[in-house]
Amino acid sequence: MPTSEHWRVLWAIPVLALLFTPPSILAKGQESGHLERILASKILRVCIWPDYYSISYRNPKTQQLSGIDIDLAKELAKDLDPKIDVKFVDSSFATLSEDINRDRCDIGMFAIGITSARAKTLRFSKPYLTSDIYAVATRTNRRIKEWQDIDQPGVVVAVHKGTYHEGVMREQLKRATLLVADTPFAREQEVESGRADVFMTDYPYSQRMLQNAQWARLIIPPTTYHLSSYAYVVRYGDERWHERVERFISDIKRDGRLLSAAKQHKLEPIVQQGQ
């Protein structure tokens, strides 16, 4: 039968083990997953790019957010717990990986194009939208009349740094010159001023240009040019949270909420219904 001395030794073992366990291991073992923290705090932190028209757009006059992913972020919060509030965190394609991996948000929800480069640091969900690439030129540009006029000597093609369009156009352009702009507005200004002939974008942003820029003219590829699927992203290593996001996407595809939100923001042509 153990003596009182034996009991003291037995109690001391776990205490000593705790004292000599590296802090990194302790932190890892004690860290709760995103889903648990969201349910406990009643706050869902969602990274958005607030300049993405009809996706996650902040009106510069009213400061109100609108777009398909603003609506769907609220649906996700409601599905998790009706008492959960959504906190939108401003991000961008260039800073998203850091924002997710430094735990500034629980999920990125702004139609993030699935690329192999991004997949190295971000865990993608299943896709929910798919868009081709489009070009925007000025109405007065006589050099660019059709899609085949773009990749020609002397033509300057602008892209927004950090978007998937940059990588695609680096591979696709053989004769035209690529201009990489730091912001979407700089990209547009290059075209409007005549320093660039076109800028490349996707379906949602092209609709913004047509509705808000009188100088803009859309150039549509005659056949599929380069389809990109859009998804949400979370941090690697949190399987339960990733699985919950996957279930949410399956649910909104099945029950019609995805299509309804897409119609609300005139994005139904690019909805991806398949699992």
pLDDT digits (tens, 9 = 90+) for 65-108: 999 999 999 999 999 999 999 999 999 998 999 999 999 999 99
Q: How far is CA 25 from the centre of its chain?
A: 31
Band of residue 119 on the pLDDT scale cut at 50, 70, 90:
very high
pLDDT for residue 104: 98
Band of residue 184 on the pLDDT scale cut at 50, 70, 90:
confident
pLDDT for residue 31: 52
Cβ burial, residue 213 (10 Å; 0-12/13-18/19+): middle
pLDDT for residue 28: 40
Residue 16 pLDDT greater than 60, yes or no: no
Domains of the chain: 34-130+228-270 (3.40.190.10), 133-219 (3.40.190.10)
Beta bridge partners of 15: none
Residue 11 pLDDT greater than 50, yes or no: no
Q: Which residue has the higher pLDDT, 18 or 3?
A: 3
pLDDT digits (tens, 9 = 90+) for 151-176: 999 999 999 998 889 999 999 999 99
Q: Give the strand pairing for 228-234 and 216-219.
A: unpaired
Residue 21 pLDDT greater than 80, yes or no: no
Alpha-carbon span 235 to 101, nearest angstrom? 6
144, 198 in Cβ contact below 8 A? yes
pLDDT digits (tens, 9 = 90+) for 208-227: 899 889 999 999 999 999 99
Query: What percent of the chain lies above the pLDDT cut of 70?
Result: 88
Band of residue 5 on the pLDDT scale cut at 50, 70, 90:
very low
pLDDT for residue 273: 81
